[in-house]
Structure 1
């Protein structure tokens, strides 16, 4: 059962208390509780004697989600039995709404609100403010769920004011100035005898002050006696792991976790995360706070010491038993990134850990050795961070799917979602540690986080963990990313009942737009289709990523199923058409991602509609605020680019279009048209993305690869990119002599290649070859002089004769292939054959041009990384990757020599196939009037 607790304040409000986030970004918040973790209502006053038979979270037929609060009591004669729920401070205005859903075996229960009058003192105790009550709907539909609400609270308050004035003989006016609600009250008295009440999906707001997160004793003016405090019921949420399924309270769970560093936990909880990953040295007070907030806890333990030696069973047991009394533990996680070499050690350690805590599963993050680890670890994590690298999103998807296939069939896999700038990127581009505060806009973009999350789910991951909470803070320009995560969590929470029942691997299908692929997932109650933008270079800058009238033909849809688009903004019916290949459905409007459900279950659709109605106000607010903050970032970068003379013709009109849509979204929100406000906020970002992509395409135009410049891998670093390229292309800059020894690979066959270090590694039964060859039997240039061939002259054609090296008589060949008579594997683990050049010594900071010619005879398989070329200044993240066949083609990148004063080049092959390299060079760029040649003689 997902741990949703009382007192979850509105997300926008809690940002005020996010100490590293700074100023608030929204003035309103809505307080909601789905009652899925622990009771939120406390005893108030009563004039009837009664016994409480039960008070707990009950999973029997909730109105929504996985639970509701259940109160069973046996009452004597009387008039009222009050249960109180504190809501903080909700000013009585025309915007105020308060509602909840009730189900009972009897009628007569009534919703009320306690009103605080800040200008009046209680005449019975002047130390207290005067309070009164306003009354709302009465429950009338016994046995059924009914929404009861306080409608028109201003009118109700005025009526109560008139009644109080009359009680005073109209001698004076009771001052209702600044009146606010501080608690909802339910009168559960329905007459003598047993009464059973279920409470679910409460909503009150706007609130301007958070309610407490832990239910505490509250005084009810109707009865000065204190109510009993509510504690977590014992064994209310039993965690189990059976048949590769994570269940809580007998319900399957999709965990939405975040790695904790220093963000306030209430902010993470309000953003919709249901779990937090803590490091092993976490302060116990943090664990207590997380538990009280209803967050699931994933503590870390280690199995080796700092020197890599195995820890003793006693050490492991002590780590696990540290959390023995904490009923908020979801599972334990082994720290670090695991490789095959430690598989046996880890298997022994997990046996010890299970002996110390047999009730909770064990997770680990695994790089290779997936098969043995999937036998000893319950939840296998696989991850890599593709943003700002040459790994395209479809290849990222392939990589996740390949990891899943390498493990035991049916293994529970999960992944980390990149929300941050990696350390290498921060050091290279910003010359600072990633933990330090950023003064300028930085990535990733919120859209990229969304694409990664949906891609991971559509690739079979059963849990998501977001890597960095620090990059969701204002100190790291992360407000838009935080809101993106909150919206994603809303969507994942809605889709969870479907996602957790998917058993077979998702099926990917094409759509009417080449850049949009759809994952078809067959669930217990229907068919879920997730269309996802997979356009080229989205890991750098996604672009508009939106189309109108997206057509998808989904195979094997039941005849009785209807199509619905599900989102927190609304649930829309879609028109379908049956064709020979399946059911054709048209999305009127698509942006980045969507969720389409084919189902005949009208109850399920009704539940989604109820969820959308409950969430759309927040969803609209968050979508607007996310778009606004991203818009502001883009405006700042646009201004910097304009100062540099870098312009886009339609920039102003695109920004004005976005601004108009933001204003329209805000106006729609104010008129309570939340669904349309939500969609309009989504539309507001499309012109912004068009502008970002146009700037990026202009920046990389003329480069052989986007990673040719370290600063061209994100929109936010484009001002630095143009400064960098101005230095590279400065008039008068000369290209110095090639400093890389042996890059032409021209040594005699019997001589060992000088200046290059060979390395090879594989966990598979493969043949790895690094050699020098004089003839290629696959591809050639359709040009007489391949050294002078222009880019447009490179063609992939059937060779009419032998193909030769570009430079001289020999070139380097890297090849991976199965042994004779063996079938090639579909996916490889830790396999590569590489050549690394000797170090070129140059003054630190020297600009260099690194180039090389590449030929790939046939597509490379079994690895999304394929063949790569990279340097030590940018490392593997800034590698050029190739997987498709290509004739001889030259690739050039520009780098600065790092502080070590050395630079080298690595050529590598990671998949099944062959790649040829030739004429690899490192040439310094000599600025005009330098007066010296920086290259050693």
Structure 2
């Protein structure tokens, strides 16, 4: 046996006979708890040693160094390495630059092979700017083949952890029965093989493992000591280094389009992209190509024929991997591991492991992820998951974290959605490449409810799909998924509208992809409209200063829970050019799209003196007048309709030819699709208006707006026939805008006397307005049958506490808020219900979620299908409420749930609210009051809460009232409505 001292800094370690020892640095993949159960390529040749040497041998010559190298395939971290000399001692210096998502980095050095024995120990001198480095021994089990690769199993025996920084320290690792058994337990659990033993195990190297955190870190590795060495037999070394049954990962041929993260962007097939995906429902390949998607989610990993078909069409395949089997309730105990996924799923580009995954499901998600990464050891394909909260914790294991929320038909604006995407990306530790779903159809709960009661389905407007895409791009997200639960039939007018909206959105993304894929959000600019006062001089100067300093916010606030106060523009920098993505925001388009139009908007963009600006679209590019001001370029956008893209560049000769060529290829298709979409929308709006006439008087200017839309449609068709694609697209957009205005006039007439558009389920969409007026006339005609207040305790005069008489109080566990609920005496209103939530002292250390911290639910009231429930009450803010709490109270019912909640503006004076709910299949009905948890203190008072019932006329409960005749009709067949409904994995 012998002990060695080796100084680093020399390239190869040579044996006595002059042969170079090959390194073993082909290991890839993550180490979970410092375990690498792996398929590394290990080619180890022994250093000739004298078995009779008893004394320690200390060497530092150039023919015997350690060679340290990073061995992990990294996504978010760049590792650079150089050899240097410090105090006449050679050291290896490593620099870690993490782009925002923590991940483990492993640095290895090969050692002369030694048999595992209890006297072996090693030490390494380390100087680091970051704590948390771990030293370990690389252990090879030559008689234990890895079932996933056929190669010898590999593990790491863990030693010291670095606790101090900015000073030289010695880290040690020693072989003991305890540390070896700990390593065995981990590898046995990972592979579900209790028979794994350390028979004739070999020590093959040293490993330093560290978790790279966002930012930069350095560490130097100095001299290392190790030994004593016991030379393995030649037969044992041949067993370790002999060819294995499976090919080396590097040599194995890929049969999928690789999806990777590089330089803060996504790479699909070696091209920087914005990921454009949708769930697969068996559409023809040509249909998917028409959508212009670059990836498709195939939920069933066993559908290899479909995956092969998509791969052959050069479309990325995302699949849900198989589930390992865990002990019930214990995801740390594996019953059945996964088989190798490289052969089972050869055409998959990445894995999707769930949508709307809640914090309660994270333990399962992360355990599943670790098993998938272990089974996919060969290719280490990226993993994706869409989560509802705690995205920072999930991002430690999941490569691409999805964040989002359905807002169509809800009391949450698209601007608030954009702000939420920005806020959660920042709170999650600046996720490198977040992605989100865009809603293309009503939620499954809404679809099922309307179908059960026989109501016409709600329609997602094409502008709402586009607005969802703009929200994602404005937040800097690198992937957009178009959520749907059925195949889009292009012969069906409604599906065709949706399909064209997806195609046009993807065309815009394609055009802007060179700027978006690797671009960085530098800030946001508030757009000025005609008639608005200019910002004070000092405020503008402050914004420019923030811009110069790299501030996140430039002239517009994006951190609030509510939507932007005005239209704004995201400033996206990259490749020497700047993209200005201007978007129109309002408070109503999540229900019925508003005009989202301004004759002219202006903005000032910080730029160099030689920079110029161009406005680009899928049908044209044209320069904007240069007006240089103290803050940069003053720009004006004419006919600002929903969104506009500006490019700022000082080198137009390098930029414009490529842009013009791409636009020339897109323009004919884009103009034709816009004209067709405008025509489809016009026909649909016209039909709905005619149905409205049978129920209610249509506002007088609606016909004029639709007539103007038709004229613009005809003009668009004419321009298209003359190949003037840009003019045809402009006229088609104008036609859609006039149709949108007609919709909005009808909708404003319907909600004029409502607390909120969510107060009735039929006012949340233009297509359901005929049902809204039927319901309103039904209530008007049947008032005499309306019951008294069924909530006897709703005035709170008889209640001593909220826990009496069937009331329920739910407090969110592990919340950053403290809460209380009680009955208090009001000087003017008598006894009232008070709800308070305030941030706790340790709120900064608590996982932030969008869940409500406090809920109060009324007693349940028996109901039947076809009943109509009328809920009223009074609310006001309490004196302790923070100024930023605009809409702290949420009111929803058991019939439609939180997604149809009412969130009205309230102040310190009492205001009344009203909710109308037809009952579907429920047997009981209750109302829930919740606090949002969006301000430091939220206090709300509630009084005179009333729940009244209008019983159904017939067993079927179908309400068919025509407003013109004011008559009541009920379906006479006595059958209940169809109860079938599509289900989806995400609400």
Aligned 8 A contact 2:816 2:848 in 1: no
| 1:331 aligned residue | 350
| 1:395 aligned residue | 416
Select 1:893's aligned residue among 904, 909, 915.
915
Aligned 8 A contact 1:863 1:910 in 2: no
What CA distance in whole angstroms lies between the structure 2 residues aligned with 1:524 and 1:442?
A: 43
Aligned 8 A contact 2:872 2:914 in 1: yes
Q: What is the deviation of 1:372?
A: 1.1
What CA distance in whole angstroms lies between the structure 1 residues aligned with 2:292 and 2:785?
A: 55
State whether structure 2 residue 295 is matched by structure 1 residue 270. Answer: no
What CA distance in whole angstroms lies between the structure 1 residues aligned with 2:527 and 2:881?
A: 21
| 1:199 aligned residue | none
| 1:149 aligned residue | none
| 2:615 aligned residue | 565
| 1:549 aligned residue | 600
Select 1:612's aligned residue among 633, 640, 663.
663
Q: What is the deviation of 1:924?
A: 1.9
Q: What is the deviation of 1:754?
A: 2.5
What CA distance in whole angstroms lies between the structure 2 residues aligned with 1:759 and 1:861?
A: 25
Aligned 8 A contact 1:245 1:412 in 2: yes
What CA distance in whole angstroms lies between the structure 2 residues aligned with 1:861 and 1:296?
A: 48
Q: Deviations over 1:478-530 (max 9, x none)?
A: 21111111111111011111112223464252432765222222223322122
Structure 1 residues 618 and 310 mapped into 2: Cα distance closer, same or farther (>3 Å)?
Answer: same
Q: What is the deviation of 1:305?
A: 6.6
Select 1:921's aligned residue among 933, 946, 951.
946
Q: Deviations over 1:815-868 (max 9, x none)?
A: 221235977989644342111111111333222210121212477699998420
State whether structure 2 residue 479 is matched by structure 1 residue 463. Answer: yes
| 1:902 aligned residue | 924
Q: What is the deviation of 1:705?
A: 1.2
Select 1:429's aligned residue among 434, 443, 450.
450
Structure 1 residues 302 and 918 mapped into 2: Cα distance closer, same or farther (>3 Å)?
Answer: farther
| 1:675 aligned residue | 726
Aligned 8 A contact 2:801 2:822 in 1: no
**Which deviates more, 266-275 or 338-347?**
338-347
What CA distance in whole angstroms lies between the structure 2 residues aligned with 1:918 and 1:582?
A: 55
Structure 1 residues 364 and 703 mapped into 2: Cα distance closer, same or farther (>3 Å)?
Answer: same
| 1:836 aligned residue | 857
Structure 1 residues 723 and 242 mapped into 2: Cα distance closer, same or farther (>3 Å)?
Answer: same
What SS class does the counterpart of residue 643 from structure 2 fall into? coil
| 1:600 aligned residue | 650
| 1:740 aligned residue | 791
Select 1:874's aligned residue among 896, 910, 921.
896
Structure 1 residues 530 and 511 mapped into 2: Cα distance closer, same or farther (>3 Å)?
Answer: farther
Aligned 8 A contact 1:769 1:816 in 2: yes
What CA distance in whole angstroms lies between the structure 1 residues aligned with 2:790 and 2:864?
A: 13
What CA distance in whole angstroms lies between the structure 2 residues aligned with 1:750 and 1:324?
A: 59
Structure 1 residues 824 and 831 mapped into 2: Cα distance closer, same or farther (>3 Å)?
Answer: farther
State whether structure 2 residue 872 is matched by structure 1 residue 851. Answer: yes
Aligned 8 A contact 1:508 1:517 in 2: yes
Q: Deviations over 1:904-931 (max 9, x none)?
A: 000011213222222211012379999x
| 1:491 aligned residue | 508
Q: What is the deviation of 1:583?
A: 2.7
What CA distance in whole angstroms lies between the structure 2 residues aligned with 1:574 and 1:592?
A: 19
Q: Deviations over 1:75-99 (max 9, x none)?
A: xxxxxxxxxxxxxxxxxxxxxxxxx
Q: What is the deviation of 1:333?
A: 1.1
TM-score (norm 1): 0.66
Aligned 8 A contact 2:447 2:457 in 1: no
Q: What is the deviation of 1:762?
A: 4.2
State whether structure 2 residue 347 is matched by structure 1 residue 296. Answer: no
**Which deviates more, 849-858 or 704-713?**
849-858
State whether structure 2 residue 839 is matched by structure 1 residue 814. Answer: no
Q: What is the deviation of 1:885?
A: 4.2
**CA root-mean-square deviation:** 3.2
| 1:347 aligned residue | 366
| 2:20 aligned residue | none
Aligned 8 A contact 1:460 1:506 in 2: no
Mapping of residues 712-751 of structure 1, within 5 Å: 712-730=763-781, 733-747=784-798, 749=800
Select 1:241's aligned residue among 250, 255, 261.
261
| 2:400 aligned residue | 379
| 1:450 aligned residue | 466
What CA distance in whole angstroms lies between the structure 2 residues aligned with 1:859 and 1:551?
A: 37
Q: Deviations over 1:590-646 (max 9, x none)?
A: 111111111123222221111111110001100001111111111110111122342
| 1:252 aligned residue | 272
Structure 1 residues 751 and 923 mapped into 2: Cα distance closer, same or farther (>3 Å)?
Answer: closer
TM-score (norm 2): 0.63
| 1:284 aligned residue | 304
What SS class does the counterpart of residue 722 from structure 1 fall into? helix
State whether structure 2 residue 747 is matched by structure 1 residue 690. Answer: no
Q: Deviations over 1:356-412 (max 9, x none)?
A: 324321111111222210111110011211000111222222222222122122432
Q: Deviations over 1:124-143 (max 9, x none)?
A: xxxxxxxxxxxxxxxxxxxx
Structure 1 residues 348 and 710 mapped into 2: Cα distance closer, same or farther (>3 Å)?
Answer: closer
Aligned 8 A contact 1:868 1:907 in 2: yes
Q: What is the deviation of 1:693?
A: 0.2
| 1:771 aligned residue | 822
What SS class does the counterpart of residue 522 from structure 1 fall into? strand
Select 1:591's aligned residue among 625, 629, 641.
641
